[in-house]
Amino acid sequence: MFLPEAVTIREVGPRDGLQAESRPWPTEAKVELINGLLRTGVRRLEVTSFVRPGAIPQLADAEAVLAAIDRVEGVRLSALVPNRTGMERAVRSGIHEASFFVAASEAFNQHNLRRSTEAALADAAAAAELGREHGLLLSGFVVTAFGCPYEGRVPPDAVLRVVEAYARLGVQSVYLGDTIGVAHPRQVYELARAVGDRFPELELGLHFHNTRGAALANVLAGLEAGVTVFDGAVGGLGGCPYATGATGNVATEDLVDMLEAMGVATGIDLDALLACARLAERHAGRQLSSHVLRAGKRPA
Amino acid sequence: MFLPEAVTIREVGPRDGLQAESRPWPTEAKVELINGLLRTGVRRLEVTSFVRPGAIPQLADAEAVLAAIDRVEGVRLSALVPNRTGMERAVRSGIHEASFFVAASEAFNQHNLRRSTEAALADAAAAAELGREHGLLLSGFVVTAFGCPYEGRVPPDAVLRVVEAYARLGVQSVYLGDTIGVAHPRQVYELARAVGDRFPELELGLHFHNTRGAALANVLAGLEAGVTVFDGAVGGLGGCPYATGATGNVATEDLVDMLEAMGVATGIDLDALLACARLAERHAGRQLSSHVLRAGKRPA
């Protein structure tokens, strides 16, 4: 079984998790959670989204959050950026990386992002220009990379077309997102290999939801395909406000617990992360989907 | 990614699931569930346990259950058998396969099964003799194969010793059980390869609990190591009455959903299985841990 010695975890709970909460969190609660996460050893953290504040009220306080959180050396802060207006806000906020998001399925872009795929990529291109001028790192998130609530199975070619468009914008990384939790390990392995073979210069990350219990199996398939960057959300926060039945992101602590047990280093202190998960659960006011938060760490 | 074309699923909900219920199910509820499961296409079903009725009150009605359920051509019925007395009951009940259970860790046998490893294997040997005389299939379950609540990490050699003892008893199959939910994919791959290499004549099955969310990742690792027999419990029923913090078995429907999505045939009708999971949830009177029961099947 081929596994890498180390991987990079991107914590997306404050963005992908909190945008799905029915009751928006107060800014102070977000800041408390993020400041905790910044001290777990995680090296990438997606903080918020610079979409129009009315579009996702849960993340309308993007500037206030970024102004209030600590800055910790060695942690790359990112945010979603849909267009040039969003990039102007991102530049002013002092984040390190701007992440575009476009679905691989036309229907999802039309219904949920209210733009055609072409228009979304054109908006990203205009934003990318400004981001590059200001020295931001750029990444591209492929929404519905494994399946779409409207179109069903998404052909790999549709994913490759969005990745190619991102490559032309000069992104350093692309992330493939299983927005509705339908990915399975064979598909993950094949798609990750296809993207990696065709775009070896791009860093590839994977983003899973545990909707059907297969998130960690999909991570394993990704590892075997050579992927070394994975998203997780503390506590298993999240879902997708656009996708019915989509449950939480894979819990970062479940991911870290399995990876470290296998000898794959994450650099994350699991005790510190579990303290953040307990905090997230208190603020959310409900039991989150994390397994390790319930069962405890594996015995050494 | 090497995957087999087909696998065999053994449904263990009526035994491993129901033995962990705090409130024993009425015999009629068990019979209703088992009769449903017999019509899902599953080819192996662990019905009950012939331990002393006082030891596991939840399964004290073993004979009554076996007398009442339907017999469906092509479904192998099995039960746990601890000793010769249990085998006498098993023979009278008309099951097809008797399954021994001995932990790979001495402390677990002493504390929870109230016998030394040696005594447990001697009891199994006496029972095996009687089972063979009556033409029963025999299998051996290795409890705590991946970790023990008392001894921690269980060395592969301890597992191989129990498997070797089972081989001498003439079992056709051995199952490795992750009793407390600590297995990780690298360990699963290595242990399955070690057992498979050393005992190529034995059929090897794997039994996972989803305690830390990694059950399906462990299944994937098992598949890649060449294993084609997996246990699941409908609805994710279960746990272990002996092991604190051990949560349910991997839900059979989560297992089937992932395997079929990958093109690995199980022979099981997922709709029929989900109807059984809903029935199990009604009888259990609480929300079970199954993911697919909540989220629904993957879209085709």
Asked if residue A238 has pLDDT above 50, the reply is yes
Model confidence band, residue A239 (pLDDT cutoffs 50, 70, 90):
low
B63, with CB counted inside 10 A (0-12, 13-18, 19+), is: middle
Q: How many CB atoms lie within 10 A of CB B119?
A: 15
Do B142 and B164 form a contact (C-beta atoms < 8 A)?
no
CB atoms within 10 A of CB B88: 16
pLDDT tens-digit profile of A52-74?
A: 989 999 999 999 999 999 999 99
The reported pLDDT for the residue numbered A243 is 47
Contact (CB<8Å) A257/B212: yes
pLDDT (average), residues A192-208: 98
- Tokens coding A265: 């280093």
State how far the Cα of B101 lies from the Cα of A14, in Å rounded to an integer: 46
Nearest to A217 among B153, B186, B217 (CB): B217
Task: Assess whether pLDDT exceeds 60 at residue B241.
Answer: no
pLDDT grade, residue B299 (50/70/90)?
Answer: confident
Chain A hits for B247, CB-CB cut-off 8 Å, are 291, 294-295
Q: Return d(Cα A84, Cα A126) in angstroms, integer.
A: 6
**Distance between CA atoms of residues B82 and B102, nearest Å:** 9
Report d(CA A292, CA A283) in Å as an integer.
Answer: 18
Rounded to an integer, the average pLDDT of B163-189 is 97
Residues A181-198: tens digit of each pLDDT: 999 999 999 999 999 999
DSSP secondary structure letter of residue A233: B
- The answer to whether the beta carbons of residues B127 and B165 sit under 8 Å apart is no
First to last CA, chain B: 22
DSSP assignment, residue B143? E
Instruction: Choose the closest CB to B182 out of A185, A210, A299.
Output: A299
DSSP lists the bridge partners of residue B229 as B8, B205
Of the candidates A127, A119, A59, the one whose C-alpha atom is nearest the C-alpha of residue A99 is A127
pLDDT given at position B287: 86
Q: State whether B1 and A298 contact (CB < 8 Å).
A: no
In whole numbers, what is the pLDDT of chain B averaged over residues?
95
C-beta of residue B170 within 8 angstroms of C-beta of residue B112? no
- Kindly name the residue from A240, A243, A246, A258 that is annotated as catalytic: A240
pLDDT value of position A21: 86
Could you give the dihedral angle defined by the CA atoms of residues B218, B223, B229 and B233, in that order, rounded to the nearest 10 degrees? Answer: 30
Q: A1: pLDDT confidence band, cut at 50, 70 and 90?
A: confident
Residues of A in contact with B245 (CB under 8 A): 295-296
Closest C-alpha among A54, A96, A56 to residue A76: A96
- The span from the CA of B87 to the CA of B16, in Å, is 19
Nearest Cα residue in chain B from A251: B213
In tens, the pLDDT along A130-188 reads 999 999 999 999 999 999 999 999 999 999 999 999 999 999 999 999 999 999 999 99
Q: Please, which pLDDT band fits residue A242 given cuts at 50, 70 and 90?
A: very low
**Residue B75: other Cβ atoms inside 10 A:** 18
**How many CB pairs below 8 A link A and B?**
128
Cα(A249)–Cα(A146) distance, rounded to whole angstroms? 15
A240 catalytic, yes or no? yes
B218 vs B234: CA distance, rounded Å:
18
Q: Is A75 helix (H, G, I), strand (E, B) or coil?
A: coil
All residues at 6 or more sequence positions from A263 whose CB lies less than 8 Å from its CB, including other chains: A3, A5, B186
For A151, nearest residue in chain B (alpha carbons): B299
Higher-confidence residue: B294 or B47?
B47
pLDDT top residue among B136 and A294: B136
Residue A23 CB neighbour total at 10 angstroms: 9
CB contact under 8 A, A212 and B254: yes
Whether residue A241 is predicted with pLDDT greater than 80 in this model: the reply is: no
**Cβ-based contacts of B213 with chain A (< 8 Å):** 210, 213, 215-216, 250-251, 254, 258, 290-292
Distance, CA of B194 to CA of A15 (rounded, Å)? 43
CB distance A185–B210 less than 8 Å? no
Among chain A, residues having any CB pair with chain B shorter than 8 Å are: 1, 3, 147, 152-153, 181-182, 184-187, 189-190, 210-217, 219-221, 224, 245, 247, 250-251, 254, 257-258, 261-263, 290-292, 294-296, 298-300
The reported pLDDT for the residue numbered B239 is 61
Q: What is the pairing mode between strands B173-177 and A8-11?
A: unpaired
Question: If pLDDT is split at 50, 70 and 90, which confidence band does A226 have?
Answer: very high
Picking from B215, B250, B262, the nearest residue to A184 by CB comes out as B262
Contact A146, A188 (CB under 8 A): yes
A167 contacts A195 by C-beta, under 8 angstroms: no
What CA–CA distance (Å, rounded) separates A162 from A115? 14
Q: Which residues pair with B251 in a beta bridge?
A: B233
Contact B213 A296 (CB under 8 A): no
Residue B281: other Cβ atoms inside 10 A: 18
Q: Which of the four pLDDT bands, split at 50, 70 and 90, describes residue A286?
A: confident
Residues with Cβ within 8 Å of A11's Cβ and at least 6 positions away in sequence, in order, are: A37, A40, A42, A44, A45, A46, A231, A232, A233, A234, A252
Distance from CA of B211 to the nearest CA of A (A): 6
d(CA B95, CA B76): 8
Quick one: closest CA in B to A244, which residue?
B295
- Count CB atoms within 10 A of the CB of residue B296: 14
* Domains of chain A and CATH, by start: 8-295 (3.20.20.70)
State the smallest CA–CA distance between residue A177 and chain B in angstroms: 16
Predicted ipTM of the assembly: 0.96
Determine which of B216, B244, B273 to mutate to test the interface with A (most A C-beta atoms within 10 Å). B216
The pLDDT value recorded for residue B183 is 97
Q: How far is C-alpha B60 from the geometric centre of its chain's CA atoms?
A: 18
Q: What is the pLDDT of residues B57-102, one digit of tens each?
A: 999 999 999 999 999 999 999 999 999 999 999 999 999 999 999 9
Burial class (CB in 10 A: 0-12, 13-18, 19+), A62: buried
Chain B residues at the A interface, defined by Cβ less than 8 Å, are 1, 3, 147, 152-153, 181-182, 184-187, 189-190, 210-217, 219-221, 224, 245, 247, 250-251, 254, 257-258, 261-263, 290-292, 294-296, 298-300
The answer to whether A213 contacts B216, with C-beta atoms less than 8 Å apart, is yes
Residue A213 has pLDDT above 80, yes or no: yes
- Tell me whether residues B186 and A213 touch, CB distance under 8 A: no
The answer to whether the CB atoms of A214 and B247 lie below 8 A apart is: no
**Active-site residue, from B51, B240, B276, B280:** B240
pLDDT at A300: 73
- Residue of A193, A212, A259 to mutate, interface with B, max B Cβ within 10 Å: A212
Q: What is the pLDDT of chain A when averaged over all its residues? A: 95
Kindly report, residue by residue over B242-251, the tens digit of the pLDDT: 444 557 899 9
> Which pair of tokens denotes residue A260?
């470290």
How much is the pLDDT for A108? Answer: 97
Displacement of CA B45 from its chain's centroid (Å): 9
Instruction: Assess whether pLDDT exceeds 50 at residue A225.
Output: yes
